[in-house]
Amino acid sequence: MHDLYQELIIDHGTHPRRFGPLPEHTHHERGHNPLCGDDLTLYLKVEDGVIEKVRFEGSGCAISMASASLMAERLEGLSVDEAKKLFEKVHSLLSGTPVEGLGKIEALSGVCKYPMRVKCATLSWHALMGALEQSSEATEK
């Protein structure tokens, strides 16, 4: 299972899904990790409380890009409340608490063994919360 998860992270890290601009976005947030140099901007199109489209731009390590890619795939079609609950589950997973029902996102479960890499994996998720809260400040977590 470990090898499968590693392959999934490498694939999403080198070929991120939903990468690129989203001109018709309704929400956005920048995330920056000064320790690693990861920098991304997350764009959401939210209509009637549902996340219809997700895109992100930027650069970073494989874990940061894979996490953003996996997140973007999972968010489309979720309500804002469901996205916030998903954030909590992923936060628990990356803190070392086993969580089921996350699908491909469970590939990030091993990141908790490397504390310096947790910030890479959580960057896009914190940007998500900032975007949903319509925060105007850049996310630095």
pLDDT digits (tens, 9 = 90+) for 8-61: 899 999 999 999 999 999 999 999 998 889 999 999 999 999 999 999 999 999
Distance, CA of 140 to CA of 95 (rounded, Å): 18
**CA-atom Rg of the chain in angstroms:** 14
CA 89 to chain CA centroid, Å, is 12
Percent of the chain with pLDDT over 90: 81
Tokens of 106: 């469970």
CB atoms within 10 A of CB 125: 25
Note the pLDDT of residue 7: 87
Distance, CA of 49 to CA of 51 (rounded, Å): 7
Note the pLDDT of residue 140: 45
Tokens of 24: 């018709």
Break the chain into its structural domains and give their ranges: 2-132
Fold of domain 2-132: Sufe protein. Chain: A (3.90.1010)
